[in-house]
Structure 1
């Protein structure tokens, strides 16, 4: 049995899957398997995946489309490793990522989920000039809800026992247990991590370094803010009964961060009306982001206001300037 399994959910990912697989096959830690889950793709993803699944290291699972949560669950069901990592089919892992997480989990028996920081890249795999540098130690349930230091779905490597502790099987499910809730098409990551925090004693801890390269597709997100907000609110409603006192204390602050995140993404898509609306709703929900991250909060408000009043050109110029500073090694405001 391999020490680690890497699950690669793939839906219409024929263009990016080869680069993702190249990064995974280049891991310095060699005792691992890769499970590609073709989640009902309509393009050439199946053919691309079959080209990689020619030896014992790479296996292929195909199913009708069940969404990202369903693809991950299918991969978990097929995985044999005691540590299970996730890498979406358009993201990349640095060569030392798996070795770093395996070493971390081997040395930290109380840690159920190990994660890293991430460098954001564009559609051409170029650095976007932005990185996720999360809190690594002393992570509480409040940190997960408010800021989700895990960051993205390709950053985590999880102990199998931790996944088994939160698995269940709905009465209608015929093929495998659920770890991720397949009724969610968004917010499935944080729902899973919060459920693990609420119901188990496993700790979350990060490792230093930007070991994941997380791809941001241009545009598109601000048009889906209503769906994303609805999914996030449903996650809160689903988990709130497990610890009402906790949610009473932190829910509004978490909602403020969620609105701020959507405001920043709307700014990046040059959607001024959405950005301003999300920024105002963040401000009205809670002052927690302002108190704890004043620069980022005020920058978001300012960018949203400028974009709404003056259009996208001033914001685009600032974004280009910050990205250029990042590429030349100067510190940028994240």
Structure 2
């Protein structure tokens, strides 16, 4: 029997697409799931959407509104009842087989720390506008992560015990909290990406991932990269060169 999964969804007030997102979880072929919805500011609109899932969903609140997704995801993990944690943003859509496929792989491979997947890009109306196909294979994923974040958060499934042992998401890594945690997980255990489109990744002007990235958090990212480099045999000089290349791209794209 495939392990049950806790789906953790951080959510800002008046999330326009939350109902669709929750219905994509309800349509999963894998029936052993729960949703932990973390409201980053209470909102009747979001609570009404959550009510559609009945007792399959738990609603939590951040300590104060607009605490950010790192805080929300950590609260969600703490409240999760199951060891397998699937992350999902409140504007993205799971393919029906997502939880079944990823949970089966993590059950089969207890050495894996996380698994991601490919995704399709969808516009606000849900129409496909592109695809997001990252590298696959444990070594390629790890080495690519030293250069840039090739993992889409809403495709990630990981193990609660591992993520919490590492301290979860670091709120100091603003807009990079996911990149930082994936690096730290991959420094402890291998991870892979399934070459299957298991997510509809919504692209719209208001999404949180848009905006500046450069700041004090880049030093924390570099520290996490050094840990991963040590596990896969890339020395400090090699890590530094890759990190500088990543910084150069951020500057070129004016992401500060």
- What's the TM-score once normalised by structure 2's chain length? 0.84
Range with bigger deviation, 106-115 or 134-143? 134-143
Query: Root-mean-square deviation (CA), in Å?
Result: 2.8
2:179 counterpart of 1:190: yes
Pairs within 5 Å for 1:219-234: 224=211, 227-230=212-215, 233-234=218-219
Corresponding residue for 1:36? 37
In 2: Cα distance, 1:102 partner to 1:180 partner: 21
In 1: Cα distance, 2:209 partner to 2:106 partner: 37
Tell me how far 1:42 sits from its aligned partner.
5.8
- Of 201, 209, 217 in structure 2, the residue corresponding to residue 214 of structure 1 is 201
Corresponding residue for 1:155? 155
Tell me how far 1:123 sits from its aligned partner.
1.9
Tell me how far 1:216 sits from its aligned partner.
1.6
Q: Which has the larger radius of gyration?
A: 1
Tell me how far 1:208 sits from its aligned partner.
2.4
- Of 185, 205, 215 in structure 1, the residue corresponding to residue 192 of structure 2 is 205
8 Å contact kept, 1:195–1:239: yes
Corresponding residue for 1:248? 237
8 Å contact kept, 1:186–1:231: no
Pairs within 5 Å for 1:22-171: 22-41=23-42, 44-49=45-50, 51-55=51-55, 57-63=56-62, 64-65=64-65, 66-139=67-140, 141-150=142-151, 152-167=152-167
Per-residue deviation, residues 180-234 of structure 1 (Å, max 9, x unmatched):
0122221001111112233x2x11012220101111223889983xx31226523
Per-residue deviation, residues 53-72 of structure 1 (Å, max 9, x unmatched):
522x1111122232100000
In 2: Cα distance, 1:27 partner to 1:255 partner: 41
Range with bigger deviation, 205-214 or 248-257? 248-257
Tell me how far 1:43 sits from its aligned partner.
7.3
Larger helix fraction of residues: 1
Per-residue deviation, residues 259-282 of structure 1 (Å, max 9, x unmatched):
44775xx6xxxxxxx5xxx8xxxx
Question: How many residues align structurally?
Answer: 247
Corresponding residue for 1:283? none
- What's the TM-score once normalised by structure 1's chain length? 0.66
What secondary structure, in the 3-state scheme, does the structure 2 residue paired with 1:228 have? coil
In 1: Cα distance, 2:226 partner to 2:147 partner: 18
Tell me how far 1:146 sits from its aligned partner.
1.4
Per-residue deviation, residues 304-331 of structure 1 (Å, max 9, x unmatched):
xxxxxxxxxxxxxxxxxxxxxxxxxxxx
Per-residue deviation, residues 227-259 of structure 1 (Å, max 9, x unmatched):
312265233354467579734313333443454
8 Å contact kept, 1:122–1:218: no
8 Å contact kept, 1:87–1:154: yes
C-alpha spacing 1:228/1:133, structure 2 compared with 1 (3 Å):
same
